[in-house]
Structure 1
Amino acid sequence: MNKPLRANSLGIHALVWVGDTTPDSIRHAVRSTSEAGFDLLELSLHDLERLDVPGTRTLLAEAGLGVVCSRGLAFDADVSSDDPAVVKRGAALLRASLETTVGLGGRIFTGALFSALGKYPAAPTPAGRANAVSVIRELATAAADNDVTLGLEVCNRYETNLVNTARQAVELADDIGADNVMVHLDTYHMNIEEADMARPVREVGDRLGYVHIGENHRGFLGSGHIDFTSFFHALGDIGYRGPITFESFSSSVVARGLSDDLAVWRDLWEDGRELADHALNFTTAMLAVSGPAKHG
């Protein structure tokens, strides 16, 4: 199908369609994303060993879709750990994920690259934070060689102890000191941690490189209490032209292990296509009245 020209690429997370990255699942996710009218598909690299990289790249190209890769780390491969062996495992996993991103033809690798994805029992240590900075700085060098930008996703306090606000993400990016490291904002997490939905966007400004939109309960956009109007107006104020990707999880789709990691304990929806259609229409309408298309 012919997709409309947009100021922003609009994406959808593969977990709206499927719970793993087997060839059959990838085929379904790519086909569904294209048929729904999105521009790109975000793939979580939690299932690296089953992902057919060349085959997936071919399917994406045939569908005319872009790809963004994302991931979090486990506690036994946490680059913000004080344990050098744990940090080394995390660095190796990030490097493998970067190689997969490149192999898929992606230009953005994002997520909680700086820590494990889960609730920590204590605040980060200075040594642990320094380890994360060092690992991501080295990863950024490898990413730059392949024209890939790294994203630091701002996540809530129950999923990381290192970067919970936009300001903390900017500070971490400053310490990393690489031009190809940007900030990734997510409305679901912002709703928990930020004082409002507009000021963080303006604070990040032109360092914002990727956006997740999701409701406070991760269900249908507009059915919760997130102030999307303020958020999209702020995107317009900074002239944001980067990707905007819809993210939602339901235990009816997401695999058991990942559901546990993401605390997806209930079925917020069952029909991914209905959810996706609504998300695309909602986002398009928001951008039409308040987004960067007004700033061309």
Structure 2
Amino acid sequence: MYFKFGVDSFIWTENFNKEDLWIIPKAKELGFELIDFAIANPYTFPVEAVRDVLDRTGIDCVCTTTLTKETNPISPDREIREAAVEAMKQAVRICNELNSPILGGVNYAGWGYLTRKPRTEQEWQWGVECMRRVAEYAMESGNVTICVECVNRFETHFLNIAEDAVRFCKEVGTGNVKVHLDCFHMIREEKSFRGAVETCGKEYLGYIHVNENDRGIPGTGLVPFREFFQAVHDVGYDGPLVIESFDPGFKELAGNCAIWRKLAGSGEELAVKGLANLKAIAAGM
């Protein structure tokens, strides 16, 4: 069974800038077919330099981003919601420049924004309205699909499971908003890996992160990758599967993601060993 495996820039750096351009050829050298640029700040991301290195290297890319409390589409503050829309439009422009077909991540709410209450109908309306504006811009300006990542309850109260994410996509209603699944979050929130994939189906499954339950080396933990890969194959998903993790030395990300110990000798080791494990699992199916 063949899948297109990729690696996230978070493996090496938490805020990609010009000093990190070497990551692009390194990803290809290590055997990955694609790189996921985690856009920490869409206004400072070195898009032109990245495009030049991508062209020279000959590797495909996608993008992800995480919104903040200052760019939060479900904030009660209208100015913050407007800032969210503008930040997302800028991320879409980056995707257009890089020929990235996907903009994934926590792009529907401020990452880590928790009200300590269940999601409200008002928050849902704000989120749908903001995403619809961004999605319409994406259609007008290029061909980017926005993929909303279901993450665990400790990182958002807004979208935790595939069922809610599919409903969100349907209510945005533009046809270019799909679901971003991540095995790390799925093992905490979903009842079934196959069930979550089938809930999305080919129509709404837009992007996948293949992370282990502890964010360690994929294939060494509790995630049922055989079941997951079979379900992904059965629904006809043909997009990338990307390894993402973080180093405990990262100042901000490690704290936000509660990474308190080393999960491998280095982020690169985690990615390389994970790639070998996942390819072996897929080849044996």
**2:78: which partner in 1?**
84
1:127 aligned onto 2:134: no
Measured after TM superposition, the shift of residue 86 of structure 1 is 1.6
Q: Measure, in 2, the Cα distance between the counterparts of 1:265 and 1:85.
A: 35
Q: Structure 1: which 5+ residue stretches go unaligned?
A: 1-5, 291-296
1:105 aligned onto 2:102: no
Q: Secondary structure at the match of 1:31?
A: helix
**1:294: which partner in 2?**
none
Q: Measure, in 2, the Cα distance between the counterparts of 1:176 and 1:34.
A: 36
Q: Measure, in 2, the Cα distance between the counterparts of 1:110 and 1:157.
A: 18
1:229 aligned onto 2:226: yes
Contact 1:250 1:270 in 2 (8 A): no
**Map 1:157-168 → 2, pairs under 5 A:** 157-168=153-164
Q: Measure, in 1, the Cα distance between the counterparts of 2:77 and 2:122.
A: 10
Partner amino acid, structure 2, of 1:83: D
Q: Measure, in 2, the Cα distance between the counterparts of 1:272 and 1:72.
A: 20
Q: Measure, in 1, the Cα distance between the counterparts of 2:65 and 2:52.
A: 22
Partner amino acid, structure 1, of 2:191: A
**1:193: which partner in 2?**
189
**1:202: which partner in 2?**
198
1:265 aligned onto 2:260: yes
1:153 aligned onto 2:149: yes
1:214 aligned onto 2:194: no
Deviation per CA, 1:140-173: give whole Å up to 9, x if none: 1111221111101111111111111010011101
Q: Measure, in 2, the Cα distance between the counterparts of 1:135 and 1:232.
A: 33
Deviation per CA, 1:23-69: give whole Å up to 9, x if none: 121x2211220111111111111133442211101111211111111
Q: Measure, in 1, the Cα distance between the counterparts of 2:71 and 2:47.
A: 23
Greater alpha carbon shift after TM alignment, 268-277 vs 114-123: 268-277
Q: Percent identity?
A: 29
Contact 2:209 2:243 in 1 (8 A): yes
Q: Measure, in 2, the Cα distance between the counterparts of 1:225 and 1:87.
A: 38
Measured after TM superposition, the shift of residue 104 of structure 1 is 2.1
**1:142: which partner in 2?**
137
1:288 aligned onto 2:278: no
1:240 aligned onto 2:237: yes
Please list every run of at least 4 consecutive aligned residues from structure 1 whose deviation after the TM superposition is greater than 3 angstroms. Answer: 47-50
Q: Measure, in 2, the Cα distance between the counterparts of 1:228 and 1:8.
A: 12
Contact 1:44 1:71 in 2 (8 A): yes
Q: TM-score when scaled to structure 1? A: 0.90
Partner amino acid, structure 1, of 2:183: T
Contact 1:187 1:215 in 2 (8 A): yes
Partner amino acid, structure 1, of 2:137: A
Measured after TM superposition, the shift of residue 264 of structure 1 is 2.4
1:176 aligns with one of 172, 175, 181: 172
Q: Secondary structure at the match of 2:260?
A: coil
Task: Give the aligned CA root-mean-square deviation in angstroms.
Answer: 1.6
**1:276: which partner in 2?**
271
